[in-house]
Amino acid sequence: MSAPSELLNVQIDGIWHQFQKGTRVIEACAQAGKFVPHYCYHPKLSSPGNCRMCLIEIGMPKLGPDRKPETGTDGKPLINWIPRPQISCAQDISEGMGIRTESPMVKECRNGVMEFLLINHPLDCPICDQAGECQLQEYSVEFGTAGSRFLEEKVKKPKRVEIGPRVTLDDERCILCSRCIRFMKEVAHDDVLGFVSRGSHTYLTAHPDRLLDSNYSLNTVDICPVGALTSSDFRFKMRVWFLKETKSICTSCATGCNTIIGTRQNQVFRQTPRENDAVNSAWMCDYGRLNYHYVNSTDRLQTPQIREGQELVNTTWNSALVKAGEELKQFSKDGIAVVASAKMTNEELWLTKNLTELVGTSHCDIIPRSGAADDILMSADRNPNTLGAQLIGLTGEKPGLRLKDIAEGVRSGTIKAVLALGEDLTQIGLQADELKKLASLIVLDILPTETTRSATVLLPSSAFCEKRGSMINIKGRLQRLHRATQPPGAARDDWEIVRDLIQKLTGSNGIYLIEDVFKQMTDSIPDMNGLSLSRIGDKGVQLVEETEEAPAAI
Amino acid sequence: MASTTRTAHPREKRVIFKNIDRPGWTNDIGCYLQDGGYEDLKKAIAMNPQDIVTEVKTSALRGRGGAGFLCGVKWGFIKPGGSKPVYLICNADESEPGTFKDRYIIHQDPHQLLEGMIISCFAVNARLAYIYIRGEFPEGAKILERALAEAREHGFLGKNILGSGFDLEIYVFRGAGAYICGEETGLIESMEGKRPYPRIKPPYFPAVLGLYLCPTIVNNVETLCNVKYIVRMGGAEYAKVGTRVLCVSGDVQRPCYCEFEVGGITMGELIYDICGGLKPGRTLKAVIPGGSSAKVMSAKDRYKIKTKQPDGTIRENEMGLEDVPIDFETLAAAGSMAGSGGVIVMDDTRDMVWALNNINEFYAHESCGQCTPCREGSLWMKKITARMLHGGGVPEDSDTLKRVADNIAGRTICAFGEACAWPTQSFLDKFPEEFVATAKRMGNGNGSTNH
Ligand SMILES: Cc1cc2nc3c(=O)[nH]c(=O)nc-3n(C[C@H](O)[C@H](O)[C@H](O)COP(=O)(O)O)c2cc1C
Ligand code: SF4
Ligand code: SF4
Ligand code: SF4
Ligand code: FES
């Protein structure tokens, strides 16, 4: 369908390369292994060319009297070098172009820009959150000089500005690259940031009477090359070089933005977006990003419990699972209901589906969750894996349709046992006293709810960052979650709990590793045939065609 | 407007400034028409627009806004028959220190400008044009509004101008009060309602991606006035007798504006014959020949200038500053530029560190702050010269100043980078001993600052 792409010949530091037509000069250099330092350039935003860090030398093919390029003894075109340095971030390559990224002039330019950027910079690295991932620090080491010739007083600007509910601004650290302004205008569609005043006194601010309060505000913190914009949530909590980084996905809506979870000593400190053009470009929303604090909550359920009269008492995993198995065996198939969650992974859902088939009930569903969608990333479906639940068959085409029957069955007493996985049943209209009447209420969850308090068997499970597994986003992309932290106390990974529950009903089922679950699942679901967890990779695979026409060939 | 009038010096050749201070002259259309006004428009509108462009090319008319770019070449970038509308903008933001000519045209002879503009719009097929007038010229804006209304009433503007089928509207746009609004792409951004941040070129050459990303011609007031005379006398004739307005300020007895054939007067004649010479007992020290950003020329230097002889041979003449003729090529060959025509004269009482600091203050104040080298460098240079003046000089200051300026020039988004670096580079180049002496005389040598 796409036209055959044209390749252009470009000389970089004396060596000829070929690049696709339309490649930015700075990107061509990167592809050739010649990193060009830059501040204002961001591949997802427009190019203002304001920082001047990316200055290089450019030349055009030398034309002879016949207007044809002249060639040298090596048969390659001769190059006419433009005497002034040129920026590499705003121009595409052209045929026969020459580029120098290491010449004395280029080095001098970088050195000059670094010195200019530093003279009015507060140099408060020891107390700056950006330290460790600051491009000003990094480039200073590589392209700057150690001493300063600056004897003057630095320009004073506003500090500790609460520019929005989640972002703190230090204008003295700002290098005026305008990335944040362009992000808010071009991506978040909320043109709320801008520069005021002039010259070296220019500073960043929000529009009068406005705050940087967009649901995408924290992306400005990510792309700010220095410590001018910091996350009020993360500020002063942890040095970034101590953070362990785990690739995962956000589970706060069906978009499934790709993330990096930053943790230390089994605690989550932040989530940042991970680039994936098929999903979230380089962004994520603030809601999803900050929706992790509950994971670190001291209320987390940590020990399996069983009911003894009015009390839930601690017990071992084995005795809790034995009791759960025994309870389930007491009831005939339609006396049992399974309420699962579309926040569960495919692996968990698939095992749960097996369990429902084993006990023979048709009373199973997930609880839908929705909110307002925006035209940026956020999906109206606030469950991250609805598509997975549908594909696996735990819910129908319209998720939640069977919940009413389940609630009525509980009330009328036809349903005597409920297995609730990660959901609070008050959401389907059941009150605590109604839940207490159940002969069996087996609950997997991470935090106390009305449902956990009414359980007969309570099985503490894992949060999204403690899990391995996969989910399918709203666009039919299969993506992986990775374990960033261990669940607290004796809590376990959900898939293991469900597997063990099945084993209590049937004996061993040959599943030891999550890979085994995945293998059985992919074998049994045609759309997933032939996949393995490792084949999903960091960026996921398209499982079902976005258009919902024909399933994609994988 | 001050009512004091000055008569032109007999050596002047007043064309553009013919009506400035002319006894009995008023700036209404009646007066202009009685004097043969809009006749050149009538001639032009009967011509083929491309022929006007050709005449302007032949005339070798150079832009009077500062860069001296060939007007015909600029117009030639507009390709006839494009799908986007073409805009023309008259740059009346006149803010370069030492330059005060456009305001007189606007105040006293607005119809001359309008006639030149209408012809220019016809030539490049612009149907909508703007006069971007400096925010601090409220009176000028009113005068232009009235002149535009008069021109509309007389059918020189609006639909079907003079029965030609050509439609044109011109509007006055009042500037935003910053020097950088005069830079043509900053001007365009400002017209689009944004901060006047100059655009990167490539890709935003106004003739390709100008106002609202449509092809746009930006010309200075004086440049556009000249087009009228090119139409009248033809490009070839204009190339021989074209004039230029100069504004002389500084240490002369009679600061003034005046007009001569391009290259028709030397620096010495200008200072001594036209402006009444220096103040008593003073000697000439230096001249900034083309607005504050032009490189300073020292009276001590000898200038080697190549001139074309009538027989076509090239001869190199060595001359002093006072003998340098004021034209584009000569001043460029002498290491400076004709720029905006603002000639700033300095006599031997001037302290060059003080003079440079004065210029540095202006540029530090006016840098738009968009790009790193100019934003940080312009203020740094000012802080150094200010410190030197206030007694905090250190021996390294000359060297630091020069390196800061070298790190700005050629590395910025717009020509403001050169405008702010050239003064420092040239002052240090021409008067190095004064900077060394100031650092020594006043310096406490320990590098501490006193603010
Ligand atoms: C910092 C800066 C300020 C400028 N200010 C003016 C100005 O006030 N008036 C003007 O005509 N040109 C000014 N220019 C030049 C314009 O950018 C542009 O070159 C000019 O208007 C083109 O007209 P011309 O070709 O007729 O000279 C300025 C340029 C720079 C870099
Ligand atoms: S706050 Fe950061 S991203 Fe925004 S302009 Fe300043 S340095 Fe750039
Ligand atoms: S858009 Fe959805 S998936 Fe992306 S960060 Fe927000 S809540 Fe998470
Ligand atoms: S050179 Fe100066 S005035 Fe021009 S864009 Fe850069 S900062 Fe602004
Ligand atoms: S990265 Fe090119 S100018 Fe900033």
B108-158: per-residue pLDDT in tens? 999 999 999 999 999 999 999 999 999 999 999 999 999 999 999 999 999
* Longest CA pairwise span in chain B (Å): 76
Q: Among residues of chain B, what percentage have pLDDT more than 70?
A: 97
As a whole number, the mean pLDDT across chain B is 95
pLDDT, tens digit, 9 for 90 and up, residues B230-273: 999 999 999 999 999 999 999 999 999 999 999 899 999 999 99
Chosen for mutation from A55, A93, A151 (greatest number of chain B CBs closer than 10 Å) is A151
Q: Distance (Å, rounded) from C-alpha B319 to C-alpha B305?
A: 8
CB contact under 8 A, A202 and B394: no
Strand partners, A365: A339
Task: At A25, list the tokens.
Answer: 């000069």
Distance from the CA of A90 to the center of ligand 5, in angstroms?
8
**Architecture of the structural domain at A124-296:** 2-Layer Sandwich (3.30)
Pocket residue to mutate for ligand 3, from A283, A378, A387, A474, most atoms within 8 A of Cβ: A378
Q: What is the mean pLDDT of residues A233-246?
A: 92
C-beta separation of A342 from A389 below 8 A: yes
Residues of B in contact with A204 (CB under 8 A): none
Is ligand 1 within 6 A of the CB of residue B378?
Answer: no
Distance from the CA of A110 to the center of ligand 4, in angstroms?
18
Picking from A202, A111, A113, A225, the residue whose alpha carbon sits closest to that of residue A155 is: A202
**Beta strands A417-421 and A336-340, pairing class:** parallel
A positions 86-125 inside 8 Å of B (CB): 87, 90-91, 108-109, 112-113, 115-117, 119-120
**Element containing residue A139 per DSSP (H, E):** helix A135-143
Q: Could you tell me if A396 lies within 8 Å of chain B, comparing CB atoms?
A: no
CB contact under 8 A, A117 and B372: yes
Q: What is the pLDDT of residue A546?
A: 64
C-beta separation of A158 from A171 below 8 A: yes
Q: What is the mean pLDDT of residues B328-333?
A: 94
C-beta separation of B201 from B218 below 8 A: no
Picking from B178, B210, B197, the residue whose alpha carbon sits closest to that of residue B413 is: B197
Q: What is the pLDDT of residue A4?
A: 61
Q: What is the pLDDT of residue A552?
A: 33
For residue B364, the ligand closest to its alpha carbon is: 4
pLDDT, tens digit, 9 for 90 and up, residues A372-424: 999 999 999 999 999 999 999 999 999 999 999 999 999 999 999 999 999 99
| Ranges A63-77, A189-203, A411-425, B67-81: which has the least confidence | A63-77
Question: Whose structure tokens read 């074998």?
Answer: A523
Q: Is the pLDDT of residue A239 over 60?
A: yes
The number of beta carbons lying within 10 Å of the beta carbon of residue A305 is 21
Q: Is the pLDDT of residue A533 over 90?
A: no
Q: What is the mean pLDDT of residues A13-38?
A: 97
How close does chain B come to A102, measured CA to CA in Å?
Answer: 17
Peptide bond into A83 cis (omega under 30): no
Task: At A66, list the tokens.
Answer: 């016949």
For A40, name the nearest residue in chain B, comparing CA atoms only: B371
Residues of B in contact with A199 (CB under 8 A): 364-369, 375, 378-379
Give B180-232 as a DSSP string.
Answer: GGGSHHHHHHHHTTS---PPPTTT--HHHH-GGGS-EEEEEHHHHHHHHHHHH
Picking from B284, B310, B290, the residue whose alpha carbon sits closest to that of residue B244 is: B290
Distance from the CA of A222 to the center of ligand 2, in angstroms?
10
Pocket residue to mutate for ligand 4, from B181, B412, B418, B420, most atoms within 8 A of Cβ: B412
Helix pair A317-329, A494-506: axis angle to 10 deg: 50
Is ligand 5 within 6 A of the CB of residue A324?
Answer: no
Q: Among residues of chain B, what percentage have pLDDT more than 90?
A: 91
For B199, name the nearest residue in chain A, comparing CA atoms only: A48
Residues of B in contact with A153 (CB under 8 A): 383, 449, 451
CB contact under 8 A, A51 and B372: yes
Work out the angle at residue A483's Cα, subtended by the Cα atoms of residues A481 and A488, and round it to the nearest 5 degrees.
130
Helix and strand counts by DSSP (H, E) for chain A: 15, 24
Residues of A in contact with B371 (CB under 8 A): 49-52
Question: Whose structure tokens read 């150094």?
Answer: B384
Interface confidence, given as ipTM, is 0.94
| Ranges A256-260, B55-59, B435-439: which has the least confidence | B435-439
Q: What is the mean pLDDT of residues A139-155?
A: 87
pLDDT, tens digit, 9 for 90 and up, residues A316-375: 999 999 999 999 999 988 999 999 999 999 999 999 999 999 999 999 999 999 999 999
Residues of B in contact with A51 (CB under 8 A): 371-372
C-beta separation of A221 from A167 below 8 A: yes
Long-range contacts of B186-195 (CB under 8 A, 24+ apart): B186/B368, B186/B414, B187/B89, B187/B91, B187/B93, B187/B132, B187/B218, B188/B89, B188/B216, B188/B218, B190/B132, B191/B89, B191/B130, B191/B132, B195/A194, B195/A195, B195/B368
Picking from B143, B405, B169, the residue whose alpha carbon sits closest to that of residue B295 is: B405
| Ranges A487-496, A503-512, B24-33, B54-63: which has the least confidence | A503-512
pLDDT, tens digit, 9 for 90 and up, residues A93-127: 999 999 999 999 999 999 999 999 999 999 889 99
C-alpha of A343 from chain center = 15
Q: Distance (Å, rounded) from C-alpha A178 to C-alpha B375?
A: 14
Q: Is the pLDDT of residue A548 over 70?
A: no
A67 band by pLDDT with thresholds 50, 70 and 90 = confident
C-beta separation of A441 from A430 below 8 A: no
Q: Is the pLDDT of residue B2 over 50?
A: no
Residues in chain B: 451
Distance from the CA of B420 to the center of ligand 4, in angstroms?
10
Picking from A551, A400, A375, A544, the residue whose alpha carbon sits closest to that of residue A473 is: A544
Q: Is the pLDDT of residue B347 over 70?
A: yes
Distance from the CA of B371 to the center of ligand 5, in angstroms?
9
Q: What is the mean pLDDT of residues B222-227?
A: 98
Q: Is the pLDDT of residue A554 over 60?
A: no
Pocket residue to mutate for ligand 2, from A174, A212, A221, most atoms within 8 A of Cβ: A174
Q: Is the pLDDT of residue B367 over 70?
A: yes
Q: Could you tell me if A374 lies within 8 Å of chain B, comparing CB atoms?
A: no
The reported pTM is 0.95
With H, G, I as helix, E, B as strand and everything else as coil, classify residue B112: helix
Q: What is the pLDDT of residue A333?
A: 87
CA dihedral B105, B110, B115, B116 (to 10 degrees): 30
Q: Is the pLDDT of residue A3 over 80?
A: no
**Beta strands A417-421 and A440-445, pairing class:** parallel
Residue A239 to residues A235, A242, A259, A316, A397, Cα–Cα distance (Å):
9, 6, 19, 38, 47
Picking from A377, A414, A152, the residue whose alpha carbon sits closest to that of residue A278 is: A377
Is ligand 2 within 6 A of the CB of residue A174?
Answer: yes
Strand partners, B220: B91
Is ligand 3 within 6 A of the CB of residue A446?
Answer: no
Fold agreement (A124-296, A305-542) = no
The domain spans of chain A are 7-113, 124-296, 305-542
**Element containing residue A502 per DSSP (H, E):** helix A494-506
Option in B376, B387, B407 nearest A200 (CB): B376
Q: Is the pLDDT of residue B103 over 80?
A: yes
CB contact under 8 A, B411 and A48: no
Residues of A in contact with B365 (CB under 8 A): 198-199
For A151, name the nearest residue in chain B, comparing CA atoms only: B447
Helix pair B221-233, B49-59: axis angle to 10 deg: 100
Q: Distance (Å, rounded) from C-alpha A221 to C-alpha A227?
A: 8
Pocket residue to mutate for ligand 3, from A253, A261, A376, A382, most atoms within 8 A of Cβ: A253
Picking from B230, B206, B21, B243, the residue whose alpha carbon sits closest to that of residue B120 is: B230
As a whole number, the mean pLDDT across chain A is 94
Picking from A227, A299, A234, the residue whose alpha carbon sits closest to that of residue A260 is: A234
Q: What is the pLDDT of residue A123?
A: 85
Distance from the CA of A176 to the center of ligand 2, in angstroms?
5
Distance from the CA of A157 to the center of ligand 4, in angstroms?
20
Picking from A192, A401, A218, A148, the residue whose alpha carbon sits closest to that of residue B396 is: A148
Long-range contacts of A132-135 (CB under 8 A, 24+ apart): A132/A239, A132/A240, A132/A241, A133/A240, A134/A225, A134/A226, A134/A227, A135/A37, A135/A39, A135/A225, A135/A226
Of the candidate CATH numbers 3.30.70.120, 3.40.50.620, 3.40.50.300, 3.40.50.740, the domain formed by A305-542 belongs to 3.40.50.740
Residues of B in contact with A113 (CB under 8 A): 372-373, 407, 411
Contacts of A342 (CB under 8 A, 6+ apart): A366, A367, A368, A369, A383, A384, A385, A386, A388, A389, A395, A399
Q: Is the pLDDT of residue A147 over 80?
A: no
Q: What is the pLDDT of residue B144?
A: 98
Distance from the CA of A200 to the center of ligand 2, in angstroms?
14
Q: Distance (Å, rounded) from C-alpha A426 to C-alpha B25?
A: 90
Strand partners, A260: A247, A272
Peptide bond into B203 cis (omega under 30): yes
For A201, name the nearest residue in chain B, comparing CA atoms only: B369
| Ranges A71-80, A421-430, B68-77, B274-283: which has the least confidence | A71-80
Q: What is the pLDDT of residue B444?
A: 54
* Amino acid identity, position B222: E
Task: At B97, list the tokens.
Answer: 């220190």
> Helices marked H in B344-448 — which ranges?
352-366, 372-389, 397-408, 416-430, 432-442
Q: What is the mean pLDDT of residues A496-516?
A: 90
How close does chain B come to A91, measured CA to CA in Å?
Answer: 8
Q: Is the pLDDT of residue B450 over 80?
A: no
B383 band by pLDDT with thresholds 50, 70 and 90 = very high
Q: Is the pLDDT of residue B60 over 80?
A: yes
Q: Distance (Å, rounded) from C-alpha B266 to C-alpha B325?
A: 4
How close does chain A come to B205, measured CA to CA in Å?
Answer: 13
Of the candidate CATH numbers 1.20.1440.230, 1.10.3470.10, 3.40.50.11540, 3.10.20.740, the domain formed by A7-113 belongs to 3.10.20.740
What per-residue string of b and e applies to A217-238 under the rule 16 or more CB within 10 Å gives b?
Answer: bbbbbbbbbbbbbbbbbbeeeb
A311-314 β-sheet, strand order: A311-314, A305-308, A457-460, A440-445, A417-421, A336-340, A364-366
Is ligand 2 within 6 A of the CB of residue A184?
Answer: no
Strands (E) across A32-137 are located at: 55-61, 79-81, 86-87, 97-100
Is ligand 1 within 6 A of the CB of residue B218?
Answer: yes
Residues of B in contact with A38 (CB under 8 A): none
* Amino acid identity, position B68: G
Q: Distance (Å, rounded) from C-alpha A207 to C-alpha A211?
A: 7
CB contact under 8 A, A200 and B368: no
For residue A200, the ligand closest to its alpha carbon is: 4
